[in-house]
């Protein structure tokens, strides 16, 4: 792919910076001292994936990946809420039995 304008340079630079953020998030998930740190790293990785996908759409000049952005955003939100509930209560789904 040929870089055509100054905007392309900034898009590629932004993609490189966001990729470094992804590496930092993965490191924090592996080394994170507490579950809360790991939760924040997962949320950060979700945001970085959304940003990287948006930059990819801009670089390729297409809107084909916009549904992927919505899907990753929804999954990141559900994952964050579920993991936060697990940290707080120890279970994600509570089963109340009448026996």
- HSE, CB side, 13 Å, CA atoms: give it for residue 84: 10
What residue spans define the domains of the chain? 6-89
pLDDT along the chain (99 residues), means of 10: 80 96 94 87 93 94 92 90 82 74
Write down the pLDDT at residue 19: 96
pLDDT at residue 44, rounded to an integer? 93
Q: Which two tokens stand for residue 61?
A: 């000049």
Please give the pLDDT value at position 11: 94
State residue 96's pLDDT score: 78
The pLDDT value given to residue 81? 86
pLDDT, residue 9, reads: 92
- pLDDT in the model for residue 62: 92
Six token digits for residue 20: 């470094």
Of 80, 12, 10, 70, which is closest to residue 45 (Cα–Cα)? 80
Q: How far apart are CA 79 and CA 21, in angstroms?
A: 19
Instruction: Compute the distance between CA of residue 39 and CA of residue 83 in angstroms, rounded to an integer.
Output: 7
Report the C-alpha gap between 84 and 39 in whole angstroms.
Answer: 7
Q: Which pLDDT score is estimated for 2?
A: 64
């Amino acid at each position: 792919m040929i870089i055509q304008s100054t905007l392309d340079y900034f898009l590629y630079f932004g993609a490189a910076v966001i990729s470094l953020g992804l590496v930092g998030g993965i490191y924090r998930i592996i080394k994170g001292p507490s579950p809360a740190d790991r939760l924040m790293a997962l949320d950060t990785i979700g945001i970085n994936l959304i940003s990287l996908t948006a930059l990819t759409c801009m670089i390729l000049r297409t809107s084909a990946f916009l549904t992927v952005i919505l899907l990753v955003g929804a999954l990141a939100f559900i994952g964050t809420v579920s993991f936060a509930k697990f940290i707080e209560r120890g279970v994600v789904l509570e089963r109340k039995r009448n026996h």
